Amino acid sequence: MSTESLVLDGLNPQQREAVDHFKGPLCVLAGAGSGKTRVITRRIARLIERGVPEETILAVTFTNKAAREMRERVRRLVGACRSTVCTFHAFGARLLREEGHRLDRPRDFSLLDRADGKSAVKICLERLQLDASAHPPGAVVEDIGGFKSSLLTPDDAEEASVSRREEERARIFAEYERLLREWGAFDFDDLLSKSVQLLESEPALARAVGECYQFVLVDEYQDVNLAQYRLTRLIGRTHSNLCVTGDPDQCIYAWRGADIRYILDFPNEYPTAKVVVLDQNYRSRNTILRAASSVIRHNALHGDKHLWSERGEGPRIRIQLVQDEIEEARAVIDRIAELRAQGAQRQDIAVFYRLNSLSLPVERALIQNGIPYQVWRGVEFFGRKEVKDALAWLRYLQNPRDFVSLKRIINVPSRGIGPKALEAIATLAAERGTSAGMLFWDEKAFVGFKAKRRREALEAFGGIVRELIGAKDELSPSRFIHRVLETSGYFEQAAKDAGLSGVDPRGNLEQLINFAAEFEARHDDATLAAFLEEVSLLTDADAAGDGEDRVALLTVHVSKGLEFPHVIVLGLEQDLFPHRRPDQPADEEEERRLFYVALTRAKEDVLLVTARERTRFGRTNFNRPSIFLMEIPEELTELRDTTGGAREGFEEVQVEYEPDADPALASLRAGTRVRHEHFGYGTVKKLSGSSRRARIVVDFDEAGQRRLSLAHTRLDVVEDGY
């Protein structure tokens, strides 16, 4: 059998057309489960077969997991993978390692995560003497990330400001940028925004980078933001052999700046582009595909494709109406038991929800019924205190200008180096024109300190630093981590903490060492810098199960790119899914695409659950079923109502008026128009209880039905007819 037949073997006509396309722009509109990854990797192999040098092929995707899978598939096809297959952020990190000096950053720059960014913002607020209550660091970090994704500079942000708060945010952004330069650091968003800035400001460099890659392939193009879009154009314009692959109906990251128009407008932007539609689904039953297609057609912007499968029709979509979240959890338990009786493994079953807060009742029910489960929450392991401490040690030893990491580890374990000592270090560093971290490279740096205890503590810490610096380049990352934890005293402290708290921080540290060892097994030249970069580039989308037979619990966003035989989706109620924040309208089209993603994760069957009432944050709300349920054709569904009501379908819940038992509520009656400071105008539907137990149900014009405690709620009666 020839190499060509191996590369093209088993492809359907549309897949073959995309794989066999040679030069010129190409847009592959790939529906869910249509073999997109197969097409990308086969296309790389086909280009190599045509004589294209492997190292001139660049394939970019969004998650490390996807990049690893692509590299492995290419290896199986051609025997090796010398092409560049990586994430957008990994590409940016590589570019900035090589050329970051043009932006006044060292080659060994530190990469700040969100927590580090919040620490940096706190320092900025202190420098600018701004109130943290008016500018919560977490919110500021999100704003700065938004500025960078939109390629805005601090000057741009200041010019666009229309309020004092926005002007202050722009000032914080400017100070944040100055601080990162001082520390020789970038943050996660810089990997894209600064790469674009670098290439756009250095045309010769942009041409050189473009020349390196004759063929550029971009996966999940529907999820690119402005920075990724511009970076793609800068890299791909030299040879114009740009291939983008994606599904407009799975664009679910608008809150990160993703813009569906980039993939929809590609044929207009590149008039000579070939467009190939992959509409044969290899994952799901046709009932699921027809339901998903019916829902997504309600969007004004959607992909022009009609998914179909050779896997048969399958069972109807089951929709179950329950009374509340407790009954919802019971519905999940019952469905798991039913599937298990039919022979399903627990790991074949996934429970999706729009918000993490919806999982708790289900988790309780699973525990009570002895059902093993796993909550998939991405990279939370690396957010654990002891793991972050260990990584801070590594980052500081890699880049001594990294003040955030130094501040985190200088007194852990306790060494008697407090805030005043840190101030003295910073003052000394400023006097010498160096960074605070670099002082510890000099064994005589603190001889002028008069306080003996402080001087000895700093000198002892400096001795540890210098000893570890000497070992850094001699040991593999895993062995060096072990050395750091032993020499710093952290292992010893972790053992003490385990005895006091009952948790096992040392076990987590050993897991980190194992992770580094696995990294070394995947890379021939496994350096500490490369290991730190891989850890920093992990995202929630890299979440994965551990292979054990456990039910999976995860948000719909985390489910993207995954598949399960049996899917259960919770919380299908208005304001939950589609989700709407109290202070802003729902982006119904984005939420509908998210629901489409949930449906198309399923191979065999789907259960959709909607509750008539739900208690969240101490308040019980009466809910209307999600509009998405009504968009599924009736002939594709099986409705089960376990609330005991005789109503059919999804009409709004009506509540009978009960006489009020409290004279204080005399002015309120069913039908009274009221106004709430957050939910706006509404109509009273029901009153019950008395005194502090008095409850009122109001159908708000915009926020829907809410059940409120009158003891904790202020409602203003408005004139009739408003």
Residue 609: helix, strand or coil by DSSP? strand
Residue 420 pLDDT: 87
Stated as kind and residue range, the H or E segment containing 44 is helix 36-49
Q: In which band, very low, low, confident or very high, does the pLDDT at 673 lie, cut at 50, 70 and 90? A: confident
Helix and strand totals (H; E) in the chain:
28, 24
More confident residue, 519 or 349: 349
Residue 315 pLDDT: 97
The CA-based dihedral angle spanning residues 665, 667, 668, 670, taken in that order and rounded to the nearest 10 degrees: 130
Are the C-beta atoms of residues 278 and 39 closer than 8 Å to each other? yes
Residue 644 pLDDT: 67
Which residues are paired to 319 by β-bridges?
A: 608, 639
Pairing of strands 185-187, 215-218: unpaired
Which amino acid is located at 302 in the chain?
A: H
Q: How far is CA 415 from CA 107, 176, 395, 571, 653, in A?
A: 31, 29, 20, 50, 62
Are the C-beta atoms of residues 627 and 610 closer than 8 Å to each other? no
Q: Tokens 């109406």 sit at which residue?
A: 321
Which amino acid is located at 270 in the chain?
A: Y
Which amino acid is located at 175 in the chain?
A: E
Q: How far is CA 296 from CA 152, 207, 429, in A?
A: 33, 41, 59
Cα 17 to its chain centre, rounded Å, is 33
More confident residue, 497 or 415: 415
| Rounded Cα–Cα distance for residues 43 and 37 (Å) | 10
User: What is the rounded average pLDDT of the residues 287-300?
Assistant: 94
Catalytic residue positions, numbered: 36-37, 219-220, 250, 601
User: What is the rounded average pLDDT of the residues 482-509?
Assistant: 75
* CA nearest to 122, candidates 190, 179, 188: 179
* Beta strand spans in 502-649 (E): 551-555, 564-569, 602-611, 613-616, 619-622, 637-641
Residues 6 or more apart in contact with residue 574 via CB below 8 angstroms? 580, 623, 624, 625, 626, 627, 704
3-class SS shares of the chain: helix, strand, coil, % to 5: 50, 15, 35
Residue 545 pLDDT: 56
Residue 690 pLDDT: 57
Tell whether the model's pLDDT for residue 706 goes beyond 80: no
Are the C-beta atoms of residues 88 and 59 closer than 8 Å to each other? no
Are the C-beta atoms of residues 111 and 533 closer than 8 Å to each other? yes
Q: pLDDT digits over 225-275, tens only?
A: 999 999 999 999 899 999 999 999 999 998 888 999 999 999 999 999 999
Which amino acid is located at 144 in the chain?
A: I
Structure tokens given for 269: 């932007």
Residue 235 pLDDT: 94
Q: In which band, very low, low, confident or very high, does the pLDDT at 147 lie, cut at 50, 70 and 90? A: very high
Structure tokens given for 90: 């990994």
| Rounded Cα–Cα distance for residues 712 and 191 (Å) | 47
Residues 6 or more apart in contact with residue 688 via CB below 8 angstroms? 658, 660, 661, 694, 695, 696
Q: pLDDT digits over 393-413, tens only?
A: 999 999 998 988 999 999 988
Which residues are paired to 707 by β-bridges?
A: 697
Residue 693 pLDDT: 54
* CA nearest to 596, candidates 323, 290, 311: 290
What is the rounded radius of gyration, in angstroms, for the C-alpha atoms of the chain?
29
Q: Tokens 């330069």 sit at which residue?
A: 181
Residue 64 pLDDT: 86
| Rounded Cα–Cα distance for residues 119 and 113 (Å) | 10
* CA nearest to 277, candidates 560, 562, 39: 39
Residue 694 pLDDT: 67
Q: How far is CA 659 from CA 566, 668, 690, 710, in A?
A: 46, 10, 11, 15
Residue 621 pLDDT: 80
Residue 85: helix, strand or coil by DSSP? strand
| Rounded Cα–Cα distance for residues 253 and 604 (Å) | 27
Q: In which band, very low, low, confident or very high, does the pLDDT at 543 lie, cut at 50, 70 and 90? A: low
* CA nearest to 141, candidates 118, 112, 164: 118
DSSP 8-state assignment for residue 625? B
Q: pLDDT digits over 326-384, tens only?
A: 999 999 999 999 999 999 999 999 999 998 888 888 998 999 999 999 888 655 667 77
Instruction: Check the CA dihedral 549-551-557-562 and report its sign.
Output: positive
Q: pLDDT digits over 219-228, tens only?
A: 999 999 999 9
Tell whether the model's pLDDT for residue 572 goes beyond 90: yes
Residue 473 pLDDT: 84
Q: Is 408 exposed, middle or buried (0-12, 13-18, 19+ CB in 10 A)?
A: buried
Which residues are paired to 112 by β-bridges?
A: 187
Stated as kind and residue range, the H or E segment containing 330 is helix 325-341
Q: pLDDT digits over 149-197, tens only?
A: 999 999 999 999 999 999 999 999 999 999 999 999 999 999 999 999 9
Residue 520 pLDDT: 86
Q: Tokens 């919770």 sit at which residue?
A: 570
Which amino acid is located at 328 in the chain?
A: E
DSSP 8-state assignment for residue 676? E
Residue 492 pLDDT: 82
* CA nearest to 626, candidates 584, 671, 594, 582: 594
CB-side neighbour CA atoms (13 Å) of 155: 0
Structure tokens given for 159: 């010019």
Structure tokens given for 36: 């997109």
Q: In which band, very low, low, confident or very high, does the pLDDT at 722 lie, cut at 50, 70 and 90? A: very low
Q: pLDDT digits over 308-322, tens only?
A: 999 999 999 999 999
Q: pLDDT digits over 610-658, tens only?
A: 999 987 656 778 889 999 999 999 999 999 998 865 334 444 333 333 3
Q: Is 604 left (phi over 0), alpha (psi -120 to 50) or beta?
A: alpha
What does pTM read for this prediction?
0.77
Are the C-beta atoms of residues 619 and 570 closer than 8 Å to each other? no
| Rounded Cα–Cα distance for residues 118 and 383 (Å) | 14
Q: How far is CA 51 from CA 47, 57, 429, in A?
A: 7, 11, 56
* Beta strand spans in 456-533 (E): none
Q: pLDDT digits over 370-386, tens only?
A: 999 988 865 566 777 88
| Rounded Cα–Cα distance for residues 90 and 529 (Å) | 13
Residue 431: helix, strand or coil by DSSP? helix
User: What is the rounded average pLDDT of the residues 72-83?
Assistant: 91
